[in-house]
A and B are shown apart, each in its own frame.
Chain A
């Protein structure tokens, strides 16, 4: 079954070498006296904690659930919540923000894992960082008989692709590759939105899910960024740039950073204009990475000349003034700027 955990970051490699406890993927979470939930993908961590609660409820419906915030923890809370109760119900204690915990929490948690309670499951949510490292090291060294669940960030398009395929497979549904591609491009900014979209499709659509179904539900929605708009415009693709602009504005982009993106792109193009030195040599001089310089050179070859660059920069400067209050309609100002830039600055 495809899962995101095999990709978990190599940055934690050193810590893992010392770890003697099992490290599981988020979809394989099981109950243990201490469950350490690491990684920066918050919504996966939420799923883990919900899944642990459901597993415990399945065993005993009377399970007591306590949520504590490690940032404003008071001495003794953990001990009093974990101490055996009169009727011996199992207890689930979920501590959030362990990466920002106060000293009191750290002390109590370190003491608790030395002598865990057999009826209690302690879930520690640590989103990354060095705070509480001693506690993490102890747990990873096997104190308290814990397990670690890694919720690595779902970042690249490939990760998102794998994640959505797994979502459908888990509930025994099938989806065509084209439909997955359409879904991922419609929800490219946040993994939790992607997960919700998958859940929505599974609940509403019957049978196999193909591109037609995705189109019906999320038709035309494409999340795009200011960079894509600028990329289209400088390579002369006027129509694509205008469509991308509308998508960007609809999915939350602000006019001001869009103009700033155009400005920085054109600025770099002008800086490398007519300079035959290698990208490595130029990098320091123009203040950009070599790949950006190569990209700017490719853009320049699509039809730019010097008077065009001049007019494009003048029009961007005007648009910047306009989106900052000099005109009433910021979107029109941007469209006008795109017209000029996509026409390589010609009339």
Chain B
């Protein structure tokens, strides 16, 4: 067993990192891993970190490897965010720790999981540290694409691109991890468009699968402007439910832990002096909720873009590689009622909606405008 085993379809990237970990001449001091969501960017980053920090090159079993897996290794600093952006203070703190020498291993490894979530000002803090880190410090940044980072950052890192793993690879991985039937895993991998995390969730969480099912069916049921507005409202509800399912439990647990840390029983009211702490906790949770809702909407938009991609394929007479094969009986009449131009317009509208939601446009309005684009029908 080794730390590289859990990654699918990234043989080329893995072989580059293995060489770098074993041969110090091939080891750059700053790396950037890019690839589509769910292709395993951060997993690969931590696997590389393990390989650098482990005495036997990433065995996956020694205390070093287990500490990396738990993010507690003394020579590993990791930065990920559950909010919309990474704050400048977090990055400054990271830059400071990056100046220290390693304590137990040969290297100090610094990982930023969501490097695309830094605004320009925050990215600039990194420039000096990325260009000339002290001997033994290795930076690993992860982002969906190189274009998400400033040119000044791009020119300071060695870039490794990941590929989209094949549906078959993802399905086999899920079968190995969770033990579900291959057909179930294959359908989930196809619906998640090879996003490993999403596919696993679709297999193991019935509610998540039901939400996707409803999203697709609702989108295909839209016939006029009125339907579009109602469906948009429902889609927002689905995204909110999805986001809540992920954050609510965590929120309650955090509040409970903070109360325990202050020695407050469940029925005690919070004394005035401690309220500030709870308020800042609430604020943090609120930010996480915003991010979570945006992620939920993003999942819906990705699902919808797969639907309209299928519609376009059917209109062009291509029947291979349809993602939503299960919905073919709904897709075919829908494709017949739309012109190919409208289907393309909707694909554009989905991208516009994504941009708008990121730009703080009211989500329901962005979704309405998107669904409405699909309403013009060819005359029967």
Kindly specify which of A100-108, A171-179, A321-329 makes contact with the partner chain.
A321-329
Cβ of A320 and Cβ of B362 under 8 Å apart? yes
Residue of A nearest to B230 (CB): A271
Whether the pair A313, B368 counts as a contact (CB closer than 8 A) is yes
A319 CB, nearest partner CB in chain B, Å? 10
Contact (A325, B359) CB under 8 Å given A273-B226, A306-B224, A306-B225: yes
Contact of B356 with A321 in the complex, beta carbons under 8 Å: yes
Annotate B174-187 by CB proximity to A: 1 below 8 A, 0 otherwise: 00000000000000
Smallest CB separation, B300 vs chain A (Å):
17
Chain A contact residues, CB within 8 Å of chain B: 260, 263, 267, 270-271, 273-275, 306, 309-310, 313-314, 316-318, 320-321, 324-326
Nearest chain B CB to A49 CB, angstrom units: 31
Contact present for B369 and A317 (CB under 8 Å):
yes
On chain B, the residues within 8 Å of A314 by CB distance are 369, 372-373
Q: What's the Cα separation between A324 and B224 when bound, in Å?
A: 28
When C-beta atoms are compared, the residue in chain A nearest to B227 turns out to be A270
Determine if A324 and B365 form an interchain contact, defined as CB atoms under 8 angstroms apart: no
Contact at B362–A267, with CB atoms within 8 Å? no
Is A260 a contact of B229 with CB atoms below 8 Å? no
Measured between beta carbons, the chain A residues less than 8 angstroms from B336 are: none
4 closest A-B pairs by beta carbon, nearest first, are: A317-B369, A270-B229, A320-B361, A321-B356
Q: B369 touching A324 by the CB < 8 A rule?
A: no
Find the B residue at minimum CB distance from A267. B229
Q: Which residue of B lies closest to A318 (CB)?
A: B369
Contacts of A324 in B (CB 8 A): 359-361
B-to-A contact residues, CB < 8 Å: 224-226, 229-230, 355-356, 359-362, 364-366, 368-369, 372-373, 375-376
A274 / chain B contacts, CB cutoff of 8 Å: 226
Question: A311's closest neighbor in chain B, by CB?
Answer: B372
Q: Is the interface of B mostly helix, strand, loop or mixed?
A: helix
Distance in angstroms from B36 CB to nearest chain A CB is 26
Main secondary structure of the interface of A (DSSP, over half): helix
Q: In the complex, A325 Cα to B366 Cα: how many Å?
A: 15
Residue of A nearest to B226 (CB): A273
Known: A306-B225, A317-B366, A320-B356. 9 other contacts (CB 8 A): A260-B362, A263-B365, A267-B229, A270-B225, A271-B229, A273-B226, A309-B225, A313-B369, A313-B372
Nearest residue in B to A260 (C-beta to C-beta)?
B362
Inter-chain contacts of B361 with A (CB < 8 A): 317, 320-321, 324
A326 and B368 form a contact (CB under 8 A): no
> Are A271's CB and B359's CB within 8 A?
no
- Measured between beta carbons, the chain A residues less than 8 angstroms from B230 are 271
A313: chain B residues at CB < 8 Å are: 225, 229, 365, 368-369, 372
Total residue contacts A-B, CB cutoff 8 A: 56
Residues of B close to A320: CB separation below 8 A: 356, 361-362, 365-366
What are 7 pairs between A and B in contact, CB < 8 Å? Answer: A271-B230, A273-B225, A309-B225, A313-B368, A314-B372, A316-B365, A324-B360
Cβ of B369: which chain A residues have Cβ within 8 Å of it? 313-314, 316-318
Say yes or no: A321 contacts B372, CB within 8 Å. Answer: no
Q: A271-B230, A324-B361 are known contacts. Are A317 and B375 too (CB-CB below 8 A)?
A: no
With the chains together, A309 CA to B375 CA distance in Å?
Answer: 12
In the bound assembly, the distance between CA atoms of A105 and B147 in angstroms comes to 64
Are B229 and A317 in contact, with the CB atoms below 8 A?
no
A263 CA to B362 CA in the complex, in Å? 10
Residues of B within 8 A of A317 (CB): 356, 361, 365-366, 368-369
**Shortest distance in angstroms between B49's beta carbon and chain A's nearest beta carbon?**
38
Q: Determine if A326 and B226 form an interchain contact, defined as CB atoms under 8 angstroms apart.
A: no
Closest CB in chain B relative to A1 CB, distance in Å: 49
Closest chain-A Cβ to B271's Cβ sits at a distance in Å of: 16
- Asked if residues A310 and B225 are in contact (CB atoms below 8 Å), the reply is yes
Q: A313-B225, A313-B372 are in contact. Are A326 and B359 (CB under 8 A)?
A: yes
User: Which residues on the B side are within 8 Å of A318 (C-beta)?
Assistant: 369
A271 to B364, CA, bound (A): 14
Measured between beta carbons, the chain B residues less than 8 angstroms from A325 are 359-360
In the complex, what residue of chain A is closest to B375 when comparing beta carbons?
A310
**Minimal beta-carbon separation of A308 from chain B (angstroms):** 9
Smallest beta-carbon distance B250→chain A, Å = 29
CA distance A96 to B24 in the complex (A): 75
Complex Cα spacing A270 to B231, Å = 12
Bound together, the chains give a CA A309 to CA B371 distance in angstroms of 13
- A270 to B226, Cβ gap below 8 A? yes
Query: In the assembled complex, which residues on chain A have CB atoms less than 8 Å from the CB atom of B225?
Result: 270, 273, 306, 309-310, 313
Q: How far is the CB of B82 from chain A (nearest CB, A)?
A: 24
Q: State how many angstroms separate the Cβ of A296 from the closest Cβ of chain B.
A: 12
Residues in A neighbouring B355, C-beta threshold 8 A: 321
- Roughly how many angstroms separate A272 CA and B365 CA in the complex, as a whole number? 17
CA distance A310 to B374 in the complex (A): 10
| Bound complex: CA A100 to CA B355 (Å) | 46
Least Cβ distance of A342 to chain B in Å?
19
Q: How far is the CB of B120 from chain A (nearest CB, A)?
A: 15
Chain B min CB distance to A125 (Å)? 25
CA distance A12 to B375 in the complex (A): 54
Q: Which residues from chain B contact A275 at a C-beta distance below 8 Å?
A: 226
Most buried by B among A313, A317, A320: A317
Do the beta carbons of B226 and A271 come within 8 Å of each other? yes
Contact (Cβ within 8 A) A267 B368: yes
Which A residues are CB-close (under 8 A) to B376?
310
Docked Cα-Cα span, A314 to B369, in Å, equals 5
